Amino acid sequence: MTENGLDAEKPRSDYIRDLLLADAASGRFHSRVQTRFPPEPNGFLHIGHAKAICLDFAVAAENQGSCNLRFDDTNPSTEDHSYVDAIIEDLAWLGFVPDAIHHSSDYFDQLCTWAELLISKGLAYVDDQNAEDIAEQRGGFGRPGTESPFRGRSTEENLDLFQRMRQGEFTVGSKVLRAKIDMQHENMQMRDPVMYRIRDERHHRTGELWKIYPTYDWAHGQSDAIEGVTHSLCTLEFSDNRALYDWYLAQLPLDSPPPYQTEFARLELTYTVTSKRQLKKLVDAGVVDGWDDPRLPTLRALRRRGYPATAIREFCSFIGVARTNARHDIELLESFVRTELNASSSRRMAVLDPLKLVITNWPTDGAGQPIRDVRTLVNNPENESEGSREVSFSGELWIEHDDFKMAPPPKYFRLAPGREVRLRGGYLVTCTDVICDEDGAPIEVQCVYDPETAGGAAPDGRKVKATIHWVDAANAVDGSVALYERLFKTELPGDETGDPVDDLNEESRQILQDCKFEPALKDVEPGQVVQFERLGYFAADTDRELLFHRTVGLRDEWARLQKQGGRS
């Protein structure tokens, strides 16, 4: 059980696992389980893919099976090597090692041979119509389609034309190969779907070799079969494609029982878009700095922001799989991140909006220099083995502007003229005076400290209502912090206008340049996450020293939503 009461470890039982059990019982695949994760290498992996990945790998592992990574690289215009490399890297970061890495383009020859087989059986034909005419003839829901005038071509003519398409004799868009199924079929996918289109583009793996490219439907199930996949798990939008998946496989001379497709709901999160296409639009429009901008839900962005891979995996396991689409609260994902980071990250002190605090009765040495005291602070109260560290404390400190008010409102218990507070791990101090600039804004708070209160407790037992954090001005290091809010203002970005960009939050990032850090923050490794006391979890930037990205705040917003009887 995790700290937020979420039982991430409970053994899963769902309709997909039930199907696998039934297949094992019936011996359908000789008790073999093989899955695959099939991204198109046209962008970076995102949190939605994480759900598919976790499921594909988990069900394989639970059944002593295997899971491949297969690049569904059938569209040369949008795909690239760099995406292939990034996907392999991100998958590894998430914690998964595929049993094999394949590419649909490895099967282009076999697919062509099978296409010729379909032509020979009278089950495929070359159509000379353009894409618009074909779409027009396809009909609609409750509206039968119209057969193509080229549907009756002889096998010989089809074989000849298909060969010539392959050799690059025809121009782009002038011909396609279509399966000959049923133009009246109630499932639109079965109305003579396109199997091949002519393309004059360079493929990132096969170069100029191919002039024709298979469609997703013609490539997918066949690639599954070639690899020996048993269970092809995909998202719900492919439900209608299942009949076609089965039909294609039924026409082919396979040695083993054909794989079958089962669908599950896409992962959707509030305030987030989880489609590569939509994410690409944001990157291309310059709305974010790139695919690893910490405001994006791509795996590399989440990693840069400090999300632990384990938290993402636990989240995916917790939400499980379902047959209906549902949107999960982003706060739930954050809750897993917070729980993990609470246990794993060291505490440090950082002041993001510094205000000088001077202790006027701080002792000085013989030369009039303030004495340097050393305080011992616990690194992680959740993990004793992390020990403690020494932090210097002298008469001049930095505190947050927000922790001082000239005229404190009701229920504000932090520092104010005449008020005593605790400096975390330091002393109790009482504000005696304030120096302000000409606009009346405080620039220096003067205090007296009680030397009897080292560590923060008063021997006479007197209570103070607030503890604030601080950084010793004598050896503070300067740095910056990037604070992130939601990238979108609305729970369902683009819900009203159809374009998420219309719901962008203009204030999704705030960079603070003049932060003051305790010296230990110089030693944080790139990418490592620490807790800034009272402020949240922050990840050290992977390139720039002393730049920290806020991963999540400290408050569990999901627990709060649950208490309010809020959303799912």
User: Active-site residues: which are they?
Assistant: 40, 266, 276
Site string for ligand ATP, 11-50 (x = CB under 6 A): ---------------------------xxx-x-----xx-
| DSSP E strand boundaries for 48-172 | 66-71, 101-103, 124-127
- The verdict on 522 binding ligand ATP (CB under 6 A) reads no
For residue 251, what are its two tokens?
Answer: 């026409």
Q: Which helix (H) or strand (E) holds 261?
A: strand 260-264
Q: Could you tell me the smallest distance in angstroms from the CB atom of residue 525 to ligand ATP?
A: 31
In the block, tokens 């292939």 appear at 84
Q: Is 196 helix (H, G, I), strand (E, B) or coil?
A: strand
Residue closest to ligand ATP when measured from CB atoms: 48
Q: Which is nearer to ligand ATP, 350 or 487 (CB)?
A: 487
- The verdict on 223 binding ligand ATP (CB under 6 A) reads no
State the Cα–Cα distance between residues 299 and 293, nearest whole angstrom: 10
Selected from 63, 274, 508, 531, the binder of ligand ATP by CB under 6 A is 274
Q: Could you tell me the smallest distance in angstroms from the CB atom of residue 68 to ligand ATP?
A: 12
- The verdict on 277 binding ligand ATP (CB under 6 A) reads yes
Q: Could you tell me the smallest distance in angstroms from the CB atom of residue 214 to ligand ATP?
A: 15
> ∠ CA(149), CA(152), CA(158), 5° rounding?
105
Selected from 138, 266, 405, 424, the binder of ligand ATP by CB under 6 A is 266
Selected from 176, 234, 288, 357, the binder of ligand ATP by CB under 6 A is 234
Nearest residue to 248 (alpha-carbon basis) of 335, 178, 298: 178
State the Cα–Cα distance between residues 121 and 58, nearest whole angstrom: 40
Residue 433 pairs with which residues in a beta bridge?
446
Selected from 4, 146, 235, 505, the binder of ligand ATP by CB under 6 A is 235
- The verdict on 297 binding ligand ATP (CB under 6 A) reads no
- The verdict on 276 binding ligand ATP (CB under 6 A) reads yes
- The verdict on 544 binding ligand ATP (CB under 6 A) reads no
Q: Could you tell me the smallest distance in angstroms from the CB atom of residue 334 to ligand ATP?
A: 18
Site size toward ligand ATP, by CB under 6 A: 16
Nearest residue to 209 (alpha-carbon basis) of 131, 105, 123: 105
Scan residues 148-207 and list those touching ligand ATP (CB under 6 A).
Answer: none
- The verdict on 214 binding ligand ATP (CB under 6 A) reads no
State the Cα–Cα distance between residues 270 and 284, nearest whole angstrom: 22
- The verdict on 281 binding ligand ATP (CB under 6 A) reads no
State the Cα–Cα distance between residues 502 and 278, nearest whole angstrom: 12
- The verdict on 414 binding ligand ATP (CB under 6 A) reads no
Q: Could you tell me the smallest distance in angstroms from the CB atom of residue 216 to ligand ATP?
A: 9
- Helix/strand/coil (H/E/C) assignment for every residue in 287-355: CCCCCCCCCCCEHHHHHHHCCCHHHHHHHHHHHCCCCCCEEECHHHHHHHHHHHHHHHCEEECEECCEE
Q: Which is nearer to ligand ATP, 3 or 40 (CB)?
A: 40
Q: Could you tell me the smallest distance in angstroms from the CB atom of residue 43 to ligand ATP?
A: 6
Are 372 and 394 contacting, i.e. CB atoms less than 8 angstroms apart? yes
Are 4 and 558 contacting, i.e. CB atoms less than 8 angstroms apart? yes
- Interface contacts to ligand ATP, rule CB under 6 A: 38-40, 42, 48-49, 51-52, 234-235, 266-267, 274-277
